[in-house]
Structures are given as structure tokens and as C-alpha cells.
């Protein structure tokens, strides 16, 4: 155990000079001491026995199709005829395709709109919920309900909400004397609308994870801070936020991966328009694969999206690794 990644990581972090982290209740990794050889063999057999169903699903239904995609990305194939090997042609075409790079920009823009808004809102909600308000439990349930919304069903509701003349949003704004924009026809507003729909759906869900993190912070730390005269915002920035980092990392990593793969809302609401302003990578992949039936090219685009997600996730890990006792591996 001492030689594996997780052990090394915890040790690194414990040595980290960041003082805020050392106040964290550092949980030691499971101290299963390196087993003797015979037990090791038994453990290996047991482990693989336990893993068999999960591995079966993993290899057959995840890894194999992924390998399939990698292979297809080197072919020109419309699903019907026989595939034609084209080497790196799909990847070469990709580098010169301005629509692809527009979709990369759109995706990054969407993530940049969505993630901060959702995370900050969820954090504020979690802080409010953590105060033990009366009726808080009911409110909490209501906030989480949007999470289970079914995209096919909600398309109708959103087009009612954002219709420029009869829509609920603009009718509400006109009560305030503001004349609302033509939301989904505007290259400026279409993407923020899509992002806000996503924020609506997932803020409550994200809040649950952050609330859990907040509740795990020992009250004694705050009491100690009170004695030291640390109050208000200082309390938040010096105790709450640092101790929330593990939850933050989890929430950010999973939400960012989800945001990069956003599809339903674009499909239902805009089909990538107006003027390509909401053509995200996953939608572009869908269009190439299932509308234009350029399966090989779409597979190459999927590789690009994967590389992008991998990069962004790695950056998040590196950032948090320096500051967190998150024992990931």
C-alpha cells in the first residue's frame, strides 16, 4: 500500500504548506498493511470475482464500443455501404473545418456560462439550507425536483417560456417595464438561455453535494474561529471554502464532464442556431453521425471532444491536488 499512488498522494498533501488544509480532519487511507503472498493471491482472486459482473459490462458495453469508435474514426463510412479506410483523413479534415472550431468555442463558452453560475448558486443555496431554517427540508426537496425533468417533455414548456411575444419570461419582464429580447433568435442570448435551462435543472442537485460537504465540517472549528474573533466573510473564506474543496472537486469534475456533453437542450430548442451560435461539439457530432451519416468523421470529432474533456479534467485535478486531501485514486 505504501507504494501506491494514493498513499503517495496523501503523504504529499500532508506535507503541503497550505495552512488551511492542515486544519482539515485528515482521514488516513485504509491501513490494510501489505498482505503476505498467499493472502495476496486470495485477495486478487476475490477482487476479480467481485469485479466480474462490473468488468463484464465495462469491457463489453463501454470499452469495446469505444475501441469501435477509435477504429471507425480512420474510415469513411455512411453506416450503409462498406467502410473505406482513409487513414488520418478525417483528422486532417477536422483541423481545417471552421464549423468544428466554432463548435469547440461554443462548447467552452457554454461550460464557462454554466459551471460558475450553477456552482455559485448551488453554494449559496447550500449555505442557506445549512442554517437549519424552518421549512428547509421542504424547500430542499423543491430545489432538487428539476433534476428529474425529462427533456422531451420540457421542450414545449421552454418554447412557451421564451416565446418573444407570448412567452412567460417576456411577459414578466414587461411587467417590470423591460422589453425582453428575442431570446432564441438572438445570437447573443440563445446560448445563455440554454445555459440557464441547465442551471435550472442541476443547481438543486449540485446543492445536495455541497450541503453534504458543509455538514461534514466540524462545528468545533467554527467555535474556535469565534474565539479568535474570525467572523462573517473571513469565516467563509478561511474555514468553509477550504474544507469544502473535496466536495467542490467532485461536483466540478462531474458537472464539467456533463456540460461538455450537453445535447438534449440544443436538440430540442435550437438545432445549433441561430447562426451556429449554439452548435456545440456534441450536437455537431450528432449531426454528422445521425443526420449526415458521416460516421467516420463524427467518430474523429468524438476523439477531439474526449481529448478536450481529458485536458480540462486533468487541469482541475492538478489544481485541486495541491490544495486538497481528496484521496481520489
Partner 1 sequence: MSARSRRVLALAATSTLVLGLTAACGSSGSDSAGGKVTLRYGIWDAVQKPALQKSIDAFEKAHPNITVKIELNAWAQYWSKLQTQMAGRTAPDVFWDHVGYFPQFAKQGVLTDLSPYIKADKVDLSVYDPKLTAGWKQGDKQYGLPKDWDTIEQVYNKTMLKTAGLTQDDLSGLTWNPDDGGTFVKALQKLTVDKSGKHPNESGFDSKNVKQYGLALASPNGQTDWWDFATQNGCKLQDKAWGKWTINQPSCVEAIQFVQDLRLKYHVAVPAAVTNTPNGAALPAVLARKQAAVVWDGSWDLSAYQTSLKGNFGVALLPSGPAGQGTVYNGLSNALYAGSKHPKEAWELVKWLGSEQSEKIITAAGTVWPSIPTLNKDFVAYWEKQGVDVSAFSKGAEGTTIGYPLTTSSATYNVKVLDPFNQVWLGQQTPKKAADTVNTESNAAITD
Partner 2 sequence: MRTHRTIATAFGRTGLYVVLIAGALLSIGPYLMILNASFKRPQDLLTTDAWAPARHATFDNFTAVWNQYGMSSFLLHTLLVSVAVTLGQVVFSAMGAYAFARLEFPGRDLLFWGYIATMMVPQMITLVPLFLMMRELGLVDTFAGLILPTVFGTPYGIFLVRQHFRTIPSDLEAAARIDGASTWTILVRIMLPLSKPILATLATITFINTWNNLIWPLIITNSDRTKVITVGIAALQGQHVSDLPHIVLAGAALALLPLIAVFLMFQRHIVRSIALTGLK
In the complex, the residues that contact partner 1 under the rule CB under 8 A are 79-81, 155, 158-159, 162-166, 182, 184-187, 268-276, 287, 290-293
Q: Contact with partner 2 (CB under 8 A): which of 11, 66, 88, 241?
A: 66
Interaction between residue 200 and partner 2 (CB under 8 A): yes
Does the footprint of partner 2 cover residue 204 (CB under 8 A)?
A: yes
Yes or no: say if 296 and 73 are a contact pair by the CB < 8 Å rule: yes
Question: Binding partner 2 by CB under 8 A: which of 14, 22, 40, 228?
Answer: 40
| Cα-trace Rg, the chain | 24
From partner 1, partner 2, none, which one binds at residue 51 (CB under 5 to 8 Å depending on kind)?
Answer: partner 2
- Alpha-carbon distance 107 to 312, whole Å? 12
C-alpha distances in Å from residue 242, one per residue of 74, 79, 198, 211: 46, 51, 27, 14
3-class secondary structure per residue, 35-94? CCHHHHHHHHHHHHHHHHHHHHHHHHHHHHHHHHHHHHCCEECCCCCCCEECCCHHHHHH
- Gap between the terminal Cα atoms of the chain: 12
Based on the shown chain and the rule CB under 8 A, indicate whether residue 58 belongs to the binding site for partner 2: yes
8-state DSSP, 4: S
- Which of 40-48, 83-91, 173-181, 219-227 is the region at the interface with partner 2 (rule: CB under 8 A)? 40-48
Interaction partner, residue 75 (partner 2, partner 1, none; CB < 5-8 Å by kind): none
Chain centroid to CA 142: how far? 22
Judged by CB under 8 A, the residue of 57, 218, 241, 291 near partner 2 is 57
Q: Taking CB within 5 to 8 Å according to partner kind, which of partner 2, partner 1, none is near residue 219?
A: none
Per CB under 8 A, the list member of 20, 97, 257, 274 interacting with partner 2 is 257
CB-count exposure of residue 252 (10 Å: 0-12, 13-18, 19+): buried
Distance CA 247, CA 250 (A): 5
| 29 scored as a contact of partner 2 (CB under 8 A) | yes
Coil, strand, or helix at residue 217?
Answer: coil
- 287 binding partner (options partner 1, partner 2, none; Cβ < 5 to 8 Å by kind): partner 1
- Supply 163's cell numbers: 416565446
Say whether residue 152 binds partner 2 (CB under 8 A). yes
Q: Residue 218, interface with partner 2 (CB under 8 A)? A: no
Query: Which of positions 85-144 make contact with partner 2 (CB under 8 A)?
Result: 125, 128, 133, 139-144
Q: Report the residue number, 231 or 275, with the smaller CB distance to partner 1.
A: 275
Judged by CB under 8 A, does residue 79 bind partner 2? Answer: yes
> What DSSP assignment string belongs to 241-298?
HHHTHHHHHHHHHHHHHHHHT--HHHHHHTTT-STTTT--HHHHHHIIIIIS--HHHH
Q: Footprint of partner 2 on residues 275-314 (CB under 8 A)? A: 281-282, 285-286, 289, 295, 298-299, 302, 305-306, 309-310, 313
CB of 273 to partner 1, least distance (A): 4
Q: How far is the CB of 290 from partner 1 (least distance, A)?
A: 4
Return the one option of partner 2, partner 1, none that residue 176 interacts with (CB less than 5 to 8 A, by type): none
From the CB of residue 313, how many other CB atoms can be counted at a distance below 10 Å?
16
List the single partner that 80 binds among partner 1, partner 2, none, CB under 5 to 8 Å by kind.
Answer: partner 1
Q: Transcribe 164-184 into DSSP letters.
A: TTT-HHHHHHHHTT-----GG
| In the complex, least distance from residue 272 CB atom to partner 1, rounded to whole angstroms | 7
Count of residues engaged in binding partner 2, rule: CB under 8 A: 98
Amino acid at each position: 500500500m505504501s507504494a501506491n499512488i494514493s498513499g503517495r498522494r496523501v503523504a504529499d498533501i500532508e506535507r503541503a504548506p497550505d495552512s488551511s488544509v492542515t486544519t482539515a480532519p485528515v482521514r488516513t487511507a485504509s491501513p490494510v498493511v501489505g498482505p503476505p503472498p498467499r493472502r495476496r493471491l486470495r485477495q486478487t482472486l476475490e477482487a476479480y470475482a467481485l469485479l466480474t459482473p462490473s468488468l463484464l459490462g465495462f469491457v463489453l458495453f463501454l470499452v469495446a464500443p469505444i475501441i469501435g469508435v477509435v477504429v471507425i474514426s480512420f474510415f469513411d463510412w455512411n453506416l450503409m455501404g462498406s467502410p473505406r479506410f482513409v487513414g488520418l483523413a478525417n483528422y486532417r479534415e477536422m483541423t481545417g473545418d471552421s464549423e468544428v472550431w466554432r463548435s469547440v468555442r461554443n462548447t467552452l463558452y457554454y461550460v464557462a456560462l454554466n459551471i460558475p453560475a450553477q456552482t455559485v448558486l448551488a453554494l449559496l443555496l447550500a449555505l442557506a439550507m445549512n442554517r437549519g431554517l424552518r421549512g428547509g427540508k421542504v424547500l430542499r426537496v423543491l430545489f432538487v425536483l428539476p433534476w428529474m425533468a425529462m427533456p422531451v417533455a420540457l421542450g414545449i414548456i421552454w418554447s412557451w417560456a421564451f416565446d418573444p411575444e407570448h412567452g412567460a419570461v417576456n411577459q414578466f419582464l414587461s411587467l417590470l417595464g423591460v422589453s425582453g429580447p428575442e431570446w432564441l433568435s438572438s445570437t447573443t442570448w440563445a446560448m445563455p438561455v440554454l445555459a440557464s435551462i441547465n442551471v435550472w435543472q442541476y443547481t438543486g442537485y449540485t446543492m445536495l453535494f455541497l450541503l453534504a460537504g458543509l455538514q461534514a465540517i466540524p462545528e468545533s472549528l467554527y467555535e474556535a474561529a469565534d474565539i479568535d474573533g474570525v467572523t462573517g466573510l473571513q469565516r467563509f473564506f478561511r474555514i468553509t471554502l477550504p474544507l469544502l474543496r473535496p466536495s467542490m472537486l467532485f461536483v466540478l469534475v462531474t458537472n464539467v464532464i456533463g456540460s461538455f456533453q450537453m445535447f438534449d437542450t440544443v436538440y430540442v430548442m435550437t438545432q445549433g442556431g441561430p447562426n451556429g451560435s449554439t452548435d456545440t461539439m456534441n450536437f455537431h457530432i450528432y449531426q454528422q453521425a445521425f443526420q449526415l451519416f458521416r460516421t467516420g468523421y463524427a467518430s474523429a470529432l468524438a476523439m477531439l471532444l474526449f481529448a478536450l474533456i481529458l485536458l480540462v479534467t486533468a487541469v482541475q485535478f492538478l489544481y485541486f491536488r495541491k490544495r486538497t486531501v481528496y484521496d481520489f485514486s
